[in-house]
Structure 1
Amino acid sequence: MTKGDGAASEQISGPHFTDIIVTTSDTHLLFFGELKNSLTPQMVEGLHSGIPLNFSFFVELERVQSNWPDKEMTSIEFNHTLSYDTLKQLYSIETEELSKKSHTVKSLDEALPLINEVNGLKIVKLEELEPDQTYRLRVKADLHKKTLPFSLRRVVPFVSWWDLKTDWHSIEFMY
């Protein structure tokens, strides 16, 4: 249906979305997208020290109405969590949006697509959309550490530097 152009965004140094696609299944409006530059070297170092990382995704859909405030259709929030088992040397990824799936992989290169990609998120049922209307899908992500146990908060004070956010990325489309 609609695809966001990621070519210009490849030059962005911070975390950002690329390859955003809004399409339909037989029953739902679907969202696909990929987060780039999501981890800093400090985040990877903390991860390898056993500190889990949490990626919070926010997706909003509005119907654009001229001469009238836009109508919010839905607002969805979900998380991806990345952790590293220092004893087994395995990465665990939990994704919430499609029935809370868990994956375990051996390398960070295998873990990154799982933590960074959103594949086929159901936004709304098609019956909720009006034909020949303009809609705006907005997406952003907050990348941060999970809350540390109280005993570690004084030992690892630098982790607050990890908190990163993407800008809102918007795509308008006609249904």
Structure 2
Amino acid sequence: MNRSEKRIAAFLMCLIIGVSVHCPAMAGDARLTNIIVTNTRDDLLIYLSVDGAFTPKIEAAINSGVPASFSFFVKLYRTRGMWFDKEMTDLTLTHTINYNSLKKEYAVSRSWDANSPVIVYSLEAAKKLMTEIDSLKVISLAQLEKGRQYQIQAKAKLSRVTLPYYLHYVLFFLSLWDFETDWYTIDFIY
């Protein structure tokens, strides 16, 4: 290798390292908001939404036909003071968005929603469906004991995008979109 080739190789290595260090920090802006734990006559419910999940790169990729999936994790524990907490429920929910450029429509599939997939015609409506969970049944109240303390935890994650095999080499940078929120915890007494 001559001197100029070494400089180019060193520059490319620095660029790759800089991008890989900087992009995950940019993706860290996503967070869970509007977390509400409530109940109906029979069930414990949770409402939540994710803010900061859609960056311009993610929106552009979705509009070019690349599907994206968000995973939501909800756990319910009965806290037991000086003993290990008892896990009551462990739910994993998946929201997936696909854009059909011929029909100019977004299909949003939500694993917990019986009316899935939902077809919408604007990105804003699709983003709202992707980032919100409304009245998700966590557990039946019959399984909870009155007067006991419980803890519910929630987290969201943008799952890795699965591309066709030949696109993995061209669009290698898409793995940099991954984000994951912190665990959010709410303590309550039933």
TM-score normalized with structure 2 length: 0.82
What's the counterpart of residue 84 of structure 1?
99
Matches within 5 A, 1:120-159: 120-159=135-174
Shift in Å, 1:75: 0.2
CA contact (8 A) 2:161 2:174 kept: no
| Superposed CA RMSD | 1.2
Kindly indicate which of the two structures has a greater share of residues assigned to strand. Answer: 1
Residue 50 (structure 1) aligned to one of 65, 68, 76? 65
Give aligned pairs, total: 163
CA distance in 2, matches of 1:83, 1:155: 20
Could you say which structure has the larger radius of gyration? 2
* Among 109, 121, 124, the residue aligned to 1:106: 121
Report the 3-state secondary structure (helix = DSSP H, G, I; strand = E; otherwise coil) of the residue aligned with 2:159: strand
CA–CA distance in 2 between the matches of 1:172 and 1:48?
40
Select the structure that is richer in helix. 2
Q: Tell me which residue corresponds to 2:4.
A: none
Q: Which runs of 5+ in 1 are unaligned?
A: 1-12
Residue 19 of structure 2 is matched in structure 1 by: none
Distance (whole Å) between structure 1 residues aligned to residue 115 and residue 94 of structure 2: 9
Contact 1:34 1:117 in 2 (8 A): yes
The equivalent residue for 2:31 is: 16
Counterpart CA distance in 1 for 2:72 and 2:111 is: 10
> Structure 1, residues 108-158: CA drift from partner, whole Å, max 9, x if none?
111111111101111111011011111110000111343111121112111
Matched, 1:73 2:88: yes
2:187 is the counterpart of 1:172: yes
Structure 1's consecutive aligned runs of 4 or more residues displaced over 3 angstroms after TM superposition are none
TM-score (norm 1): 0.89
